[in-house]
Amino acid sequence: MKTNPATSVAKTGAATTRWNPSPWRQDFPLIAEQTGLAYLDNAATTQKPTAVLNAVRAYYRERNANVHRAAHQLSDAATRAFEAAREKVAARFGASSAKEVIWTRGTTEAINLVAAAYAPLVLAEGDNVLISRMEHHSNIVPWQIACSRFGARLRAVAVLPNGELDLDDFDAKLDERTKIVALSHVSNALGTVNPVADLTARAKAAGAAVVVDGAQAAAHIEIDLRALGCDFYAFSGHKMYAPTGIGALIGRQELLEAMPPWQTGGEMIEHVRIEATTYAPPPFKFEAGTPNIAGAIGLAAAVDYLNDLDFARVASHEADLLAYATASLNQINGLRIVGTAGNKSPVLSFLAQGAHPHDIGALLDQQGVAVRAGHHCAMPLMETLGLPGTVRASFGLYNSRADVDALVTAVHKALSLL
Ligand code: PMP
């Protein structure tokens, strides 16, 4: 097994002042066992703690049955666990009730749901939808399609060279024909934390509904939807230590009630006749077919895991990693950090000496450092910044300064090979 060079440095004590171990590392088997790996691709997906792995396994071993068809005890147990998971998610995010939580495959499906079922209620010819140039493709393409369906225009707020949203441009592009504002809480490519509460207030004052893409926020920021004030919030479980294939759209109840279903079939109906069908109330109206029961139960375990942590301590650990990584990479000749917003999540994008990001990514991988390289599903942002892409290191709560040291060592080596 490869050893992580930075870990061994720290263990010898040669760099003890730099050694800031994560208290949560042992909770994650993949991280704890693969000692040669510096996993710095958390913005793509996070590893899973034992508590989540156990919850999924226990569900399949002890309670596996379909939900909402409780003719037998096993189904009843599965249904209760599944609905308890919804309650947990509602409480963690500050939803008004569990009825506001619609299970989806993740952020992408959640945004598509809003674009398919809410946009038709409000968009007409000449209206506009306001996004930004830093959005992930999953918060761009659904709006392009919705706009083209209704003859509306898609507007995109400019991004400043440091990776912050241009707030003057936001005000300039928001008008009385703006029906939907859809923004990321945190940029996956640059780590910028957008002032979504403030922007929501401005959008609501202009009469627009607000959709927040919380994919990159959920693991790093304690989200209170009452304080944010948005109408829809989308997130993915797999980016917050839960399984893949599960996430949610949290929506304001009166809007969910007014929205038509989008996918149809079993589970989402009240009564079906050949002539016509009546629908179940939200959230079930939006959950056609057998849901990802194990995923929801795994997500509830991830929420329990996060609830049990001192989140202020997590936030300060991650802020320390970001500051340490920023300072360390800034010392490397020819390396440029992309995205220097004042308020950043633990995401660090960079470019090195004109080398293509993919080449750097491959050379880092050979040294046991897992990062992402490319456009990060944010091509309009890369176009705005005039870049082919970046190398992105993104941190989770199990990372430590030793992982940053491994990154820095590996970047030096990569540059020496180019
Ligand atoms: N938005 C942002 C900001 C993201 O980072 C991602 C995932 N990279 C998504 C949306 C899409 O998430 P998912 O693939 O889990 O649906």
- Strand, coil or helix: what is 404? helix
Is the pTM here over 0.85, yes or no? yes
Tens digit of each residue's pLDDT (9 = 90 or more) over 173-230 = 999 999 999 999 999 999 999 999 999 999 999 999 999 999 999 999 999 999 999 9
Average of per-residue pLDDT across 344-372: 96
pLDDT for 19: 61
Contact indicator for 100, 90 with CB cutoff of 8 Å: yes
Using DSSP, how many helices (H) and how many strands (E) does the chain show? Answer: 16, 15
Task: Determine the residue of 41, 107, 196 to mutate for testing ligand 1's pocket, defined as the one with the most ligand atoms within 8 A of the Cβ atom.
Answer: 107
Residues 6+ apart with CB under 8 A from 316: none
184 lines ligand 1 (CB under 6 A): yes
Beta-carbon-side half-sphere exposure of residue 341 (alpha carbons within 13 Å): 24
pLDDT for 8: 35
What percent of the chain has pLDDT above 90? 93
> Could you tell me the domains of the chain?
5-35+310-417 (3.90.1150.10), 56-307 (3.40.640.10)
Beta-carbon-side half-sphere exposure of residue 125 (alpha carbons within 13 Å): 0
106 lines ligand 1 (CB under 6 A): yes
Q: Assign 20 a pLDDT band (cuts: 50, 70, 90).
A: low
377 is catalytic: yes
Q: Which of 337, 377, 379, 387 is catalytic?
A: 377
Average of per-residue pLDDT across 74-87: 97
- Token duo for residue 213: 């893409």
Contact indicator for 312, 295 with CB cutoff of 8 Å: no
pLDDT(17) > 60: no
pLDDT for 284: 98
Tell me the CA distances in angstroms from 242 to 53, 79, 306, one per residue in order: 9, 19, 10
pLDDT for 236: 98
Q: Quick count: other Cβ atoms within 10 Å of Cβ 276?
A: 7
In angstroms, the CA 418 to CA 20 distance is: 31
Where does residue 226 rank: exposed (0-12), middle (13-18), buried (19+ CB within 10 A)? exposed
Tens digit of each residue's pLDDT (9 = 90 or more) over 121-164 = 999 999 999 999 999 999 999 999 999 999 999 999 999 999 99
The per-residue pLDDT of the chain, averaged, comes to 94
The residues facing 156 across adjacent strands are 131
pLDDT for 136: 98
Strands 153-157 and 128-132: parallel
Average of per-residue pLDDT across 387-396: 97
Q: Assign 7 a pLDDT band (cuts: 50, 70, 90).
A: very low
Tens digit of each residue's pLDDT (9 = 90 or more) over 271-295 = 999 999 999 999 999 999 999 999 9
**Taking the chain, what is the end-to-end CA distance rounded to the nearest angstrom?**
26
